Amino acid sequence: MPTLHSPENPVAEKAWRDRPGVDLRQARRTSVCHGVTMNTRTDAPGFLSAATRFLFFTGKGGVGKTSLSAAAAIALADAGRRVLLVSTDAASNLDEMLGVPLRNQPVDVPGVPGLAVLNIDPDAAAEAYRLRVLAQLDAGASEDERATVREQLSGACTTEIAAFDEFAALLAQEGAGWDHVIFDTAPTGHTLRLLSLPKAWSGFLAGNDRGASCLGPHSGLKMQEARFNAALAALSNEVTTTVVLVTRPDPRPMQEAARTADELRTLGLSNQRLVVNGVFHATVQKGGQVDPTARAMEALGLRAITQMPEALARLPCDEVPLRAFDTVGLPALRALLAGPGRESAPAAVPAAPAGAELPAEPLSRLADELAALGHGLIMVMGKGGVGKTTIAAALAVGLVRRGHSVHLTTTDPAAHVAGTLNGSLPNLKVGRIDPKAETEAYITKIMATRGKALDEQGRALLLEDLQSPCTEEVAVFHAFSRVVNEARSAFVVLDTAPTGHSLLLMDATGAYHRQMMQQYEGGNHGVHIITPLMRLQDASTTHVLLVTLPEFTPVSQAAALQDDLRRAKIEPWAWIIHKSVAATGTTDPLLQARLAGEHRQTARIAGGLARRTFVLPWLAEPPVGVAALGALAAPAAQAA
């Protein structure tokens, strides 16, 4: 059986030869960021030297938001500031990076005086929110009335708004004791949702002076209005708030960062900076030789930089070079933002155990095995930026090429499936669970059913309640349930949102399951209930594929996601390691140093994390389009 470390990557040299119009010598003399040659800087990056009180690090999953936000927080604390580092990502691994447990209260970081870290825990926030709303009820409220309110406060939308309430409190008043509050946010789609809530809820409350929402009695919700307004004012204040858009030198995260920049401007967040993280330059070795993989990798990055979207090109910008070490631990995080000559590598970490080679099956084998099942739901899950969309699209094309009809869809608000496919194929249906469209359809359906028998005033009250931002969560869950049900007789390949957002969707699925079980439990209704959660738990119907990069953070988050799924009695079917550099045989010193980290992560996976593992090597040309995607999972006869 081939292994992960088999040295073969025939496309690297070809990509270098065929690179479109990139002159490396000229490009290296040209700055990424407005003429400032950041690789030779000795000053601090602009987001530190001109740091506002609130800093939001956002961007596509996998671009390095957590590493950069943690490094920025440490640098500011080392400069004598009092800093609070806040994670809004349900899948955050700040605890591993900093070596401290995350709680929903500030925890001091040993070794960094002045720095504390806080994680907005959605479950803890929801319970605290419920208690606050219940406390607003009249003293004479009956137990039945209180129980009704508790039921109204039990949904996933309450969890979301409660987490947002904690976030708003930090912007409104609870962040007053800190010189800087730095937010390490969830991947882009989820963060846009979070940052849009101050305006959405302020507008909803301003136009709603009666009734109840899914967050309980309106009188209880109204108490939050001042906090939401204060949060909105803080977000739109250029003197106090900066949005740091983080990207890699790669077209897709750059495109997403550009869209995010435009959307945030419409929300009033106009003070923005750009950070291009992980900029790689190949090493010229003895005799003037440059490793072909390194040359191809540098050419791809420079191509993306020279074609940067205009929305990003006009922003003030900082560049952070690709480092040879994992950004875990205080020494590594301090070294991440250090200038040349001051970025000494952290203390050496143990090498991977001998004999830890990972059996590495190709993606074509995975497609063969899935095709043999005949139908089912294939959920492609993992941290943002690990390549879930590429894997999902490649498997969908592979299944069609094996004679099946496939519905390829996504729950990711950022929705890149259509762009990755970049074409059509008979028997391949491409869709998207669009939150806005699903919400409009849900409201229309509810008004036509529940509102049908109501008088004009009743319909007005119902519509007013449905205008709540929480309605979107309910609508998206219903659309997800339809997709799950579709897999009973066909293949559905689901490209999921990044981990944190997907876990919220799983919470909604679990909440619905419990509600249905309670409703029918113990009664003889003559109805056999099968909930979406039960279908996800059925190993004959649902196959969960965890995608990771061979790096510390994605592997850790995939392992944590696997634990969460197992608690819900959903067993992952296989892991997929994406963009492995080990198979390239590179001789570049920086890439070789990073390979030591890759070997450690594959050893972790081989040590018991995955029952089955499939590997897709690093490719010099990103696979976009039906033909390129089909080649990744082509049947053996076609591949030959």
Measured over the CA atoms of residue 116, residue 121, residue 124 and residue 130, the dihedral's sign is positive
| DSSP-derived secondary structure letter, 430 | E
Q: Which residue has tokens 């700040």? A: 94
Find out whether 469 and 161 touch, Cβ atoms under 8 Å: yes
Catalytic residues: 62, 64-67, 89, 553
Three-class HEC string of 346-357: CCCCCCCCCCCC
| Distance separating alpha carbons of residues 333 and 94, to the nearest angstrom | 11
| Distance separating alpha carbons of residues 602 and 356, to the nearest angstrom | 8
Note the maximum CA span of the chain: 87
Per DSSP, the chain holds a count of helices (H) and strands (E) of 27, 17
The pair of structure tokens assigned to 285 is 């070795």
Three-class HEC string of 155-200: CHHHHHHHHHHHHHHHHHHHCCCCCEEEEECCCHHHHHHHHHHHHH
Within 10 angstroms of residue 480's Cβ, the number of other Cβ atoms is 21
Find out whether 408 and 493 touch, Cβ atoms under 8 Å: yes
Which is nearest to 284 in space by CA: 274, 276, 294? 294
| Distance separating alpha carbons of residues 621 and 602, to the nearest angstrom | 24
Element (H, E) at 243: strand 241-247
The pair of structure tokens assigned to 422 is 């970049």
Which is nearest to 554 in space by CA: 387, 421, 392? 387
Q: How many CA atoms lie within 13 A of 346 on its CB side?
A: 17
Q: Which residue has tokens 């040295």? A: 7
Strands 613-617 and 317-321: unpaired
Backbone dihedral region for residue 51 (phi beyond 0: left; psi -120 to 50: alpha; all else: beta): beta
Which is nearest to 542 in space by CA: 428, 323, 380? 380
Find out whether 436 and 442 touch, Cβ atoms under 8 Å: no
Which is nearest to 133 in space by CA: 205, 212, 215? 215
Find out whether 118 and 85 touch, Cβ atoms under 8 Å: yes
Which is nearest to 396 in space by CA: 414, 382, 377? 377
Total number of residues shown for the chain: 640
| Distance separating alpha carbons of residues 548 and 187, to the nearest angstrom | 16
Sheet of 491-495, strand order: 428-430, 406-410, 491-495, 376-381, 542-548, 574-580, 613-617
| Distance separating alpha carbons of residues 429 and 408, to the nearest angstrom | 6
Q: End-to-end CA distance of the chain: give it in Å, rounded.
A: 18
| Distance separating alpha carbons of residues 173 and 161, to the nearest angstrom | 18
Q: Which residue has tokens 């790689």? A: 280
